[in-house]
Amino acid sequence: MGEILGIGCTHGPQLQFPDENMADILRKHLQNEKTPPEHRDMATWPAGMRKEWGDDEGLSAAREHRRVLVEGFRKARKALDDFKPDFVLIWGDDQYENFKEDLVPPFAIYGLPEIPIQPYKASNMMLTRENVWHQPEDVRINLRGCPEAASWLGGELIEHGFDVACSFKFHHAATANHAFVRTVMFLDYDQQGWDYPIIPVHVNCYGSDLWRNVRGEKPAYPPPPSPAPWRCYDLGRCIANILEGSRYRAAVVGSSSWSHAFLTAKHGGMYPDVATDRRRYEDICRGDLRPWRDLSLQELYDAGEHEMLNWICLAGAMEGRRVEPLAYSETYLFNSDKAVVLFPV
């Protein structure tokens, strides 16, 4: 019988870049002439946001944000190494990287024998091209994929009523998209090396907001919505059942930050929905994730939690399992609240 280790983590770009740049997304928003003047006025910011900004533009807060999360990554990596999985399945989203206007599947499993990545590539959301590992941006390496298990899993899901897409080469991208790349980079934060085969599983988290997110405009007609939270949860539950009945030792990872400032329209795109994220974390600490299945897409979108669908897949897979919170860092300044959570075997 198979065994499964579960990990929830973030792929937020801020941790790839120096502490001095961690608030760059907010800085860009403040510099944008389209940002209403009232949002630029710090007197209108929540008290917690003003305190975090302090007298050093958030530098001290950035160092603490990193410290908390890196400690969580290290604990998760130790658990992963102790478990020694046959492969690591990662639920992640695509932001107009591999899937574009001609095809946006709700779910897609990648079955590539080798997965090229550009791990130190800069982000257009940040104001620097430097990274914390002091590596050149143009480095390209190949991670191992697991096409046999990916193809088998895709077939099993179809037989169980989940009509997932399977991709055996990239559609538009030359390298894997950032959700999968940064998940590996952060779980290998200390650069000790990564030799686990990965199976990326795309979740269309942005749905009807995809064009607005990448183009900054509202289209005449939106694309279809994301798969519903209940469908993501049930997909995760089904994958866990399949893996538990298999010969594989599999680690499954739900990867995303939670509420994103630039997606939280009710806050003018300035800061994330800290209060709602805090309730999600309280659910985790209670080991009570079943209610996530009953969330609506509108609830997630209102809170800027579009990418939580990746975690909801994980929640379904880990239903009834013991949960061990490893790190949680709230922030008003660094675009998104972030967590690292372990579901031990």
Q: Greatest CA span in the chain, whole angstroms? A: 60
Both tokens assigned to 157: 């899901």
pLDDT confidence bin for 215, thresholds 50/70/90: low
Give me the domains of the chain, ranges plus CATH numbers: 3-343 (3.40.830.10)
Positive or negative, the Cα torsion across 321, 324, 326, 332? positive
Alpha carbons 338 and 332: distance in angstroms, whole number:
11
pLDDT tens, residue by residue, 243-291: 999 999 999 999 999 999 999 999 999 999 999 999 999 999 999 999 9
pLDDT tens, residue by residue, 133-145: 999 999 999 999 9
Positive or negative, the Cα torsion across 142, 344, 228, 25? negative
pLDDT confidence bin for 221, thresholds 50/70/90: confident
Kind of pairing between the strands at 198-203 and 3-9: unpaired
pLDDT confidence bin for 217, thresholds 50/70/90: low
Q: Please give the single-letter amino acid code of residue 195.
A: D
Alpha carbons 10 and 174: distance in angstroms, whole number:
23
Cβ-based neighbours of 50, under 8 Å, separated by 6 or more: 42
pLDDT confidence bin for 222, thresholds 50/70/90: confident
Alpha carbons 311 and 321: distance in angstroms, whole number:
15
CB 260 within 8 A of CB 307: yes
CB 36 within 8 A of CB 268: yes
Alpha carbons 148 and 152: distance in angstroms, whole number:
6
pTM for the structure as a whole:
0.97
**What's the whole-number mean pLDDT along residues 103-111?**
96
Model confidence at 214: pLDDT above 90: no
CB 199 within 8 A of CB 109: yes
Q: Which residues pair with 52 in a beta bridge?
A: none
pLDDT tens, residue by residue, 9-18: 999 999 999 9
